[in-house]
Amino acid sequence: MTDPTSAAPSGRDRLRELLDAVLAEDNTRLSDMAGQAHASPFHFSRTFARDTGESPVALRRRVLLERAAWQIGQGTGVTDAAFLAGYASVEGFTRAFARAFGHPPSATTEGSERWLPAPNGVHFHPPFHLWVEEHPRGRPGMDLTAFQVHHDVDDTARLIEVAAGLPEEEYRKVRSPGRTVLGWDGPEESIAQTLDHLVWSKEVWLASIEGADFPDRGGEDPASLRTRHREVGARWIATVGDIGRRGAWGDRLIDALCDPPESFVLGSVVVHVLTFAAHRRQLVRHMVREAGVEMDHGDPIEWLQDRYGGTT
């Protein structure tokens, strides 16, 4: 009898499908997970444990606790975090949380460690996706491209949240008249315009890579940017990860959104986006400081230390 979880048609990431089945919000039971993966519970558990070194139920419980730690650090109440993590009672959640992290949920702060020991490097990474470490038992072979991509997405989300707390007049105030970062993108004279270009750049390049139509441009108010960034950030991480897994950095795309169409090397597109995203993030920081709000430096060293609980 063929194990239905042992192989996948070309182009499909079967391990990712198994992870998605384990972590889907509605799949609270092993039978639900196996059903989404089109496998029996026995074969599903056996294959998942073989590939990850962790049972499906244990991985789901751990990742949801990591997500809960992040949510509480961001201000979510313990009761809400408990039910979002699938616990029937706050008491049960508190016991499980304290056993895992060594302190009760109420002692969790924004800078608290939120990754638990894992045999496979799969962790919850805020605000909306998984982080899979290249070397979970150390970090000797860190993938620098993945590092930069995750840092960029995470830092942009942080800047949008900071900007959301500004008065409207400060958010839209013209601070550098006539400033453009790239001539074809238009002016970036305010916090609102610069954040919009941060998100828009990924939306347009992803449309080019995917061969999609020119995307509709959403609003530049913080609520709209938050929604746009959540969607495009997840797609951008997945797309760059796929390019890396396929070793396709040197492949070319034909950008039909250009008039006339142009050819670009995929690796150069990723570097282009990262380069100008880093520049724009620093521009936003300078403008936020001008608006009277203290800001960090956006240092990837500090960001990584925060992810690993103060270690480098």
Please report, for the chain, the start and end positions of each structural domain, with discontinuous segments joined by +: 14-52, 56-132, 144-307
Q: With 80 as the cut, is the pLDDT of residue 6 above it? A: no
For 56-132, which CATH class? mainly alpha
Residue 39 has pLDDT above 70, yes or no: yes
Report residue 108's pLDDT band, with 50, 70 and 90 as the boundaries: confident
* Domain 144-307 CATH class label: mainly alpha
How sure is the predictor about 121, in pLDDT bands with cuts at 50, 70 and 90? confident
Q: Which residue from 224, 206, 230 is spatially nearest to 154, judged by alpha carbons? A: 230
- pLDDT tens string 138-182: 443 567 888 899 999 999 999 999 999 999 999 999 999 999 999
Q: Which pLDDT band holds residue 308 (cuts at 50, 70, 90)?
A: low
Per-residue pLDDT tens digits for 42-69: 988 888 888 888 899 999 999 999 989 9
Closest CA to 287 of 184, 166, 201: 166
Q: Cis omega before residue 127 (within 30°)? A: yes
Q: Give the model's confidence band at 279: pLDDT under 50 very low, under 70 low, under 90 confident, else very high.
A: very high
Amino acid, res. 24: A
Angle of helix 41-52 versus helix 14-23 axis, rounded to 10: 110
The DSSP string of 198-243 is: HHHHHHHHHHHHHTPPPPPP---SHHHHHHHHHHHHHHHHHHHHHH
| Max avg pLDDT among 51-55, 107-111, 162-166, 246-250 | 162-166
Q: Which of 25-34, 117-126, 176-185 has the weakest average pLDDT?
A: 117-126
Residue 307 has a pLDDT of 65
Query: Mean pLDDT, the chain, as a whole number?
Result: 84
3-state secondary structure of 252: strand
Residue 25 phi/psi, 5-degree rounding, is -55, -40
Query: What's the pLDDT at 131?
Result: 58
